[in-house]
Amino acid sequence: MKLIMRADDLGFSEAVNLGIYKAVKDGVITSVGIMTNMEQAYAGYELLKDFDIALGQHTNICAGRPLTDPKLIPSLVQENGEFYSSREIRNRQVDTVVVEEAEREIEAQYLRFKEMTGRDPDYFECHAVISQNFFTALKNVAKKYGLFYENILFDQEFEKENNIYGITMAKLNEKMLYDPKEYVENNLDFIKNHDISVMVFHPGYLDQYILEHSSFTLIRAMECDFLCSKWLKDWLKNNKIELTDFRKVKNG
C-alpha cells in the first residue's frame, strides 16, 4: 500500500511557501502543486526545485489575477480584473464557467509553469473550484499537451483507470480546524484497501495576504506542524505505509 502526501497552494503567499518548504524538508510531503498565476509562485519554486518531489500545476481560477487578458475571460473575472472567489462560484445556482475561457487561462498557467521550471508538470489538477466546465477545460488542455490530469475525489473514472484513489478531506469544525491524528487513523483501512491513495493538505504559515484572501488560516500552520511530527512518521512506519509521488505511479 502506497500513499501520496500532496501539498497544495505553493505560490499563494510568501508564508505559505515557507510552510510548504518546511513540510517537504522536515516532513512527509511528496508532491506539491504550484499556483503559477500568483506573485509568489517563482519564489516558491526556487525553494523546492532541488528536492526529490513531484511538482504539479495547481490550476487556479479563484485567487489573485489571471495571466490572460481579463477581457478575454469575462466569465472568470470581476470588474477589477481579479478572479471571482471560490465562495462566489460555489454559491451560484448554475455552472457559469465558460469552457473556452477557462482553457485560455489554464493554458496560460501551464505555459508559465514551463517558463518557470523548464519542463512539464508531473501532474495537472485544480484549486478549490468544483465546476464540471472547469474540469472539462482542464482535461482538454491536458490532452492537448499530453499532461497527466489528476482529479481525485471528483472523477471516479480517473481513479479506476489509474488505480489512484483520493481520501476525502477532513471535516472541519467551527474554527476551520480538525484533529489530524484522528483523521489519518480513521482512514487507515482505506489506505490498506487501496494500492495507491492520496491525502491532500495545505501546510503553510500565515501572513496578511492569507488572512485577507483565504478561508484556510490556522489550519495551514496546524497541518505544517503535523506533517513534520514524529508521531506521523512513526505512524507511517508502524503501519508499513510506503510514501510515493505522482511521478512514480502515473499511467500505471
Parent domain of 67 = 2-249
Per-residue model confidence (pLDDT) at position 153: 84
In degrees and rounded to multiples of 5, residue 152 shows phi and psi of: -65, 155
pLDDT tens over the chain, length 252 residues: 999 999 999 999 999 999 999 999 999 999 999 999 999 999 999 999 999 999 999 999 999 999 999 999 999 999 999 999 998 888 888 999 999 999 999 999 999 999 999 999 999 999 999 899 999 999 999 999 999 999 998 888 899 999 999 999 999 999 999 999 999 999 999 999 999 999 999 999 999 999 999 999 999 999 999 999 999 999 999 999 999 999 999 866
Global pTM value: 0.97
Q: Residue 184 and residue 223: Cα distance in Å, rounded?
A: 12
Whether residue 9 contacts residue 35, with contact meaning beta carbons closer than 8 Å, is answered with yes
DSSP state of 72: G
Per-residue model confidence (pLDDT) at position 180: 98
Work out how many domains the chain is built from and give that number. 1
Region of 81 please: left (phi>0), alpha (psi -120 to 50) or beta.
left
Whose CA is closest to 134, among 100, 102, 89, 86?
102
Per-residue model confidence (pLDDT) at position 251: 61
Per-residue model confidence (pLDDT) at position 127: 94
What residues does 200 pair with on adjacent strands? 6
Per-residue model confidence (pLDDT) at position 110: 98
Whether residue 246 contacts residue 56, with contact meaning beta carbons closer than 8 Å, is answered with yes
Whether residue 196 contacts residue 206, with contact meaning beta carbons closer than 8 Å, is answered with no
Q: How far is CA 56 from CA 50, 62, 72, 184, 227, in A?
A: 15, 18, 26, 24, 19
CATH code of 58's domain = 3.20.20.370
Q: Residue 111 and residue 122: Cα distance in Å, rounded?
A: 14
Per-residue model confidence (pLDDT) at position 250: 83
Question: How is residue 199 written as a grid cell?
Answer: 491525502
